[in-house]
């Protein structure tokens, strides 16, 4: 691949890692990524650019720039900074229960927590220090990370050791693997660059390329309570599948902004967020209702609060509660 193309795609990778937070530089090289210096203490840690958020039992945990990790135990009303072992940009976080969680980021860093995100330790720095964009665990032992230029690894011991995993092949082997997630049946999906998606029904041992019907990059995805799989991407793309990824249908969103994250709500609906303050809400198979937040904040992640039905968003202005649509 030509150097200019890799540079251009590097900009895309960083933009995704920041949740479309309007970054305009290629990922920093290995020498400039700090994996040994802890995250700085910040008085307003919950207001730095944050890129990922997850629930850990009754707690919420968000990660982002400067190795920042913040935690809330009161449904997102207040946040406290957790001890972070690195100052590299963290891009994603995932918990399988109230205690066990992992976070990943630039420089190939993989962090682990066994106390609900209150403290973290550096588990691994992957060779060549790739940009990691996604982390997902099936249980406290089996998990996956994916990232830029086809990087994918899996673990069977809680993250103490990692083995390479081939997702794409041939010309697809170098694509950015933007997010990996699983369904309730155990099927794994990867939302990837150039409108591609991949599926595994054998816990990552083999992968099938899916025809999504779109050309722009797919940033993320999730499963609805009905079993429908949803993928989100560039130019306001929302595509859904009711047959496990064999066929896809496009939903009308009314926006061309990049859509970065979404969740299924307990009432069967969805909430999707993206760049430019975009928020989409929908119920069933009906139309998605578009809102544009007045602050036009680029949003990177969304999560329901453990209690009370609140929704928390993370983005370029940190974390805050999403005000219900009127």
Instruction: Express each pLDDT in 14-71 by its tens digit.
Output: 444 444 443 323 344 443 446 779 899 999 999 999 999 999 999 999 999 999 999 9
pTM above 0.85, yes or no: yes
Distance CA 304, CA 290 (A): 19
| pLDDT at 308 > cutoff 90 | no
More confident residue, 325 or 92: 92
186 falls in which pLDDT band (50, 70, 90)?
Answer: very high
For residue 307, what pLDDT is reported? 85
Contact 86, 67 (CB under 8 A): yes
For residue 78, what pLDDT is reported? 96
Strand partners, 105: 90
What average pLDDT does the structure give for the chain? 90
Percentage of residues in the chain with pLDDT exceeding 90? 83
């Amino acid at each position: 691949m030509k150097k200019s193309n890799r540079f251009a795609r590097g900009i895309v990778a960083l933009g995704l890692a920041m949740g479309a937070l309007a970054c305009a530089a290629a990922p920093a090289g290995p020498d400039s990524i700090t994996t040994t210096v802890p995250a700085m203490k910040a008085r307003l840690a919950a207001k730095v650019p944050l890129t990922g958020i997850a629930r850990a039992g009754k707690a919420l945990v968000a990660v982002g720039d400067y190795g920042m990790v913040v935690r809330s135990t009161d449904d997102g009303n207040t946040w406290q900074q957790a001890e972070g072992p690195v100052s590299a940009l963290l891009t994603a976080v995932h918990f399988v229960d109230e205690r066990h969680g992992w976070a990943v980021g630039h420089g190939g860093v993989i962090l682990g927590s066994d106390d609900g995100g209150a403290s973290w330790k550096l588990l691994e720095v992957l060779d060549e220090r790739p940009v990691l964009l996604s982390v997902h665990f099936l249980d406290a032992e089996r998990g996956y990370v994916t990232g830029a230029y086809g990087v994918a690894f899996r673990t069977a011991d809680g993250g103490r050791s990692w083995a390479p995993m081939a997702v794409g092949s041939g010309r697809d082997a170098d694509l950015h693997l933007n997010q990996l997630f699983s369904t309730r049946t155990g099927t794994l999906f990867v939302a990837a660059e150039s409108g591609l998606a991949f599926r595994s029904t054998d816990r990552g041992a083999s992968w099938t390329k899916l025809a999504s019907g779109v050309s722009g990059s797919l940033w993320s995805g999730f499963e609805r309570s009905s079993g429908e799989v949803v993928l989100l991407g560039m130019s306001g793309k929302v595509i859904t599948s009711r047959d496990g990824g064999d066929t896809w249908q496009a939903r009308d969103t009314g926006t061309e902004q990049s859509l970065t994250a979404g969740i299924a709500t307990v009432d069967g609906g969805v909430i999707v967020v993206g760049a430019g303050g975009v928020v989409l809400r929908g119920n069933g198979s009906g139309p998605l209702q578009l809102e544009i937040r007045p602050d036009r904040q680029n949003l990177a992640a969304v999560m329901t609060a453990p209690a009370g039905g609140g929704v928390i968003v993370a983005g370029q202005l940190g974390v805050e509660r999403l005000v219900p649509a009127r």
